[in-house]
Amino acid sequence: MPKASASRDTEAASRILRHWREGVPHDRMAHLVKDATRSFLRTLQQRLARHGVALGHWTFLRILWERDGLTKRELSIEAGVAEPTTFTALRAMEALGYVRLEQRPDNRKNVYVFLTPQGRKLKRQLVPLAEEVNAIATRGVSEADVATTRRVLLAMIDNLAQDEAESL
């Protein structure tokens, strides 16, 4: 990464930290989680770029490494993105040789997504990058605090999912 870009990222991180520690130490949890997520993604994106993989492709690859052969619709739902966004990403991933898209003769409506050997091979290269980002993020944080953070975030996700279901 060019020095100017790295410098901007460092400055942005410093501003975010100053904001949270000094400006609004009791602001909403959603904003803090959003900023943490952006930091995780920016750090992961830098590492993925070194391997020529787009951050947007990471999400789909990660899902397919666990459940290959999903329909385009199922993959969209799992990734939490609209089907047109998924289709655009999948076409690009197909051109890169990461996935192949198939329609079955008995059901021409659904498009199924399968990893190619090259797409499967990326797992060995890319998962360690995500693990590295997690290790960097939790550097200096006790195992107990990490476990507590996971429990709290999972409880928040569950609470919000229940609220969403009750609102339907």
Q: Could you tell me if 93 and 116 are in contact, meaning their C-beta atoms sit under 8 angstroms apart?
A: no
Alpha-carbon gap, residue 58 to 40, rounded angstroms: 13
Coil, strand or helix: which one is 113? strand
Token pair for residue 162? 């229940």
* Distance set, CA 133 to CA 45, 81, 116, 120 (Å): 10, 23, 26, 21
- pTM value is 0.77
Nearest to 60 by CA among 155, 126, 140, 138: 126
Task: Tell me the per-residue pLDDT of 98-156, one tens digit each, with 9 for 90 and over.
Answer: 999 999 888 778 999 999 999 999 999 999 999 999 999 999 999 999 999 999 999 99
Query: What's the pLDDT at 10?
Result: 72
pLDDT confidence bin for 165, thresholds 50/70/90: very high
Cα distances (Å, whole numbers) of residue 88 to 72, 76, 94, 95, 116: 11, 11, 10, 11, 18
